[in-house]
Amino acid sequence: MPTNLKGRALAVALGSAAILAMSAGLGFAQTTMPMPMQMPMKAAQPQTVASTPNAMFMKNFNFTPTELTVKAGTTVTWKNLDGEPHTVVNDAGLFRSAALDQDDTYQFKFDKPGVYKIFCGIHPNMRATITVQ
Ligand SMILES: [Cu+2]
């Protein structure tokens, strides 16, 4: 009797091991399958330019984002992504960039807290606000 039970237990153990191996194989197949699906999502990530910290872009004749909040002492970078030139001009005359061609950048360090309005000297309807805390 005891040997008979042992034999049964072994058969059960072998059977479940086979099932485990099969499901492990399936699991492997399932985890490898979605991989190509994730690729386009990862490639799309660099397009979220608006979320770059301390940076403002000129794109499609707009500042992006139009409102940016930074801490005092922060250097803000503007980058023109358009094929047309843009400038960064402060309403109060604190700073004024040269004409920025495509992919050109301009930087200004905001030392004092306050609300700084800017516009493009070439396209004055392009406006944005930098809030310095
Ligand atoms: Cu412009």
Q: What is the pLDDT of residues 40-98, one digit of tens each?
A: 555 444 444 445 789 999 999 999 999 999 999 999 999 999 999 999 999 999 999 99
Give me the residues near ligand 1 (ion), CB cutoff below 5 Å.
86, 120, 122-123, 126
36: containing domain: 2-46
Contact 91, 117 (CB under 8 A): yes
What whole-number distance in Å separates Cα of residue 8 and Cα of residue 14? 10
Contact 54, 74 (CB under 8 A): yes
Residues 55 and 39 in one domain: no
Q: Count the Cβ atoms, other than its own, within 10 Å of residue 51.
A: 7
Cα-to-centroid distance, 35 and ligand 1 (Å): 42
The tally of domains found in the chain comes to 2
pTM of the entire predicted model:
0.62
Q: Report the percentage of the chain scoring pLDDT > 70.
A: 62
User: In this predicted structure, what is the pLDDT of residue 86?
Assistant: 98
Q: What is the pLDDT of residues 21-33, one digit of tens each?
A: 444 444 444 444 4
Residues 8 and 19 in one domain: yes
